[in-house]
Structure 1
Amino acid sequence: MPLSDHEQRMLDQIESALYAEDPKFASSVRGGNLRTPSTRRRLQGAALFVAGLAMLVSGVAFKATMIGSFPILSVFGFIIMFGGVVFAITGPRTSGKGAAPADTAAPRQKRAKGGGSFTSRMEDRFRRRFDE
Structure 2
Amino acid sequence: MPLSEEELRLLEQMERALVEEDPKLASTLRGTTLRQAARRKAILAGLVFAIGIAVLMGGAISGLWFVGIAGFIIMLGSATVGLGALRGQQLSGQQGPDHATAHPSGLGIIEGGRSRSRRPHRPKAKSSGSFMERVEERWRRRRGGRGY
> How high is the TM-score relative to the length of structure 2?
0.35
Rg: which structure is higher? Answer: 2
> How high is the TM-score relative to the length of structure 1?
0.39
